[in-house]
Structure formats: structure tokens, C-alpha cells
Amino acid sequence: MSSKLFPYKLVKGQWFRAESFTESDIAVIVDTSREMIWFWEGSKSSARIRSNAREMLGQLKKKYIVYRFKRVMSSSPENILERLEDLREKSFTGKIPGLKLELKDFSQIFYILNVISSSLIVICSVLLMLMLFEPQTSTGVSFAHYSFKAQDFLLKINLISLLLLLSFVIYTFSSLFGHFLKKKLFSSMTLVALCIIFISLFMIRIWDNIIFFEETGNNILIRKDVMILFIFGLNALIIPGLSIGLVMGLLGLRKLSSSQEILEEDR
């Protein structure tokens, strides 16, 4: 159900259209589709302001005669809770010294970082798969073995490790700040993704303990079945981590975009 929601807050004894709420505010959201006025009291609002606000509700009753009044609760409609959350997010502006970013901007940054991290993981997966199709460095090697030039092989392993490490760091910061910004779903799912990436990173850093290999001169010999199992096993871990991070990032950006459209319609 589409809804037109108009927020007001009490300022010096008068109701004014609001673009943000703080925990010290008394506010209402006029819901024209349900003919309802949703009343909200900030946790830090004073008893005097609350008393004055109840008296001032009479002004709104005169303006919206047929409307009913109801307090915002956890059981309130989802779009009301989301609208309230969006308005409370915007009030975060200026709370961190030296930063003028709104809470929504922080959210957007970390959603974008999740997408970037997922892109790095895609590169890791591609690099791993390409190792199965590299030309052999020695013609005398058995068909059952891969022959890699040791220097190139280690360079690729280190590059993949670095990319996974960067992804792990990004997911860690995203999950932590998602928790601080009370984005519970985003934070918990990103935490799952970073755990998966950590396991993948650990596996590739101890590859020489997992894979049986032989060194012949400047080359490394690895049995094909072992190498294929190792790479597909890594991808089986990497791809779920990639999917979770990418989905959470894209869904977050989509939600922010939808919220911004609602704000522009209400103005």
C-alpha cells in the first residue's frame, strides 16, 4: 500500500514540517492514506516538552478532523517504522567532530565498499580458475600433473591472498559500522561473509600444507586432481561470501535510493 507520510515536530510551541528527528524531539507523522497521525516521543525529550506536546496535539486535531491518533510502536506498520528510522538517521549529522556526513551517507559508503569488496573477490575467483588453463612450463611432465613456473605461481598466490585480505578488511569495517549504525541484518550478513573470506584466505596462505607438490628446478609440479579439487574447494567458499556481500551492498543502495525518492515526494 502506497502512503503519503508528512512528518512534523514540535518547535517552540508550534508544529513545523521536519526533515529529521532527534531523541530530544516530540514528533508526529501524518499518514494521509490511513487517515492516521502517528505520535512519537524521543527518549531524551523532557517531561515538560511531552506535556506541552499533548496540549499542542489539539492544533493537529483541528487541521485533520477525521484523523485518528496512535503512538508509534514496534508493531506499527513497516513503512511508518522505516520512515521514522530514516528521519532519525538524518539527525546524526554533525555528531562526529570534523565530519559533516549524515548517517545515511555512512550507510551508503559501506554499501558501496561491500560492492567493491565483492568485485575484488570476483577477480580472485577468476585468477584461480585461470590457473587451471595455464600453459605447461615443462614438456616432460606427466599428463596427470600441472607444471608451474615457481616464481609466477607464488606471485599469483600472493596476489590472490592480497585481494582476499583487502576484502576481509572491508567486510570487517562494514560489519562493525553496520552494528554501530544499527543495521542489524546488514551487519550480521556481512559478518558471515567476512568469516567465509577469512577461511578462504587461511586456506590459500597454507596451500603448501594442503597440496602435495614437487619442486623440479624452477618449476612446481602439482597433481591435476589435487589442484582442481583445491581451486574448486576455494571457489565453493569464495562464491557464497561474494554473493552475500554483493547482495547486501546492492539491496542497501536500493533501499537508500527508495528512501530518497520518498523524501523528495514529501517535500
Q: Is residue 48 part of a domain?
A: yes
Q: Are residues 52 and 126 in the same domain?
A: no
Q: Residue 91: its pLDDT value, please?
A: 53
Q: Are residues 125 and 221 in the same domain?
A: yes
Domain that holds residue 169: 103-266
Q: Residue 51: its pLDDT value, please?
A: 75
Q: Residue 137: its pLDDT value, please?
A: 58
Segment-wise mean pLDDT, segments of 10 residues, the chain, 267 residues:
72 78 82 85 78 75 79 85 76 46 62 86 90 68 77 91 91 80 77 89 89 82 88 89 83 65 47
Q: Are residues 22 and 140 in the same domain?
A: no
Q: Please state, in angstroms and rounded to a whole number, the distance separating the CA atoms of residues 187 and 145.
A: 43
Q: Is residue 179 part of a domain?
A: yes
Select from 55, 90, 125 the last residue of a domain.
90
Q: Are residues 79 and 124 in the same domain?
A: no
Q: Is residue 181 part of a domain?
A: yes
Q: Give me the number of domains the chain comprises.
A: 2
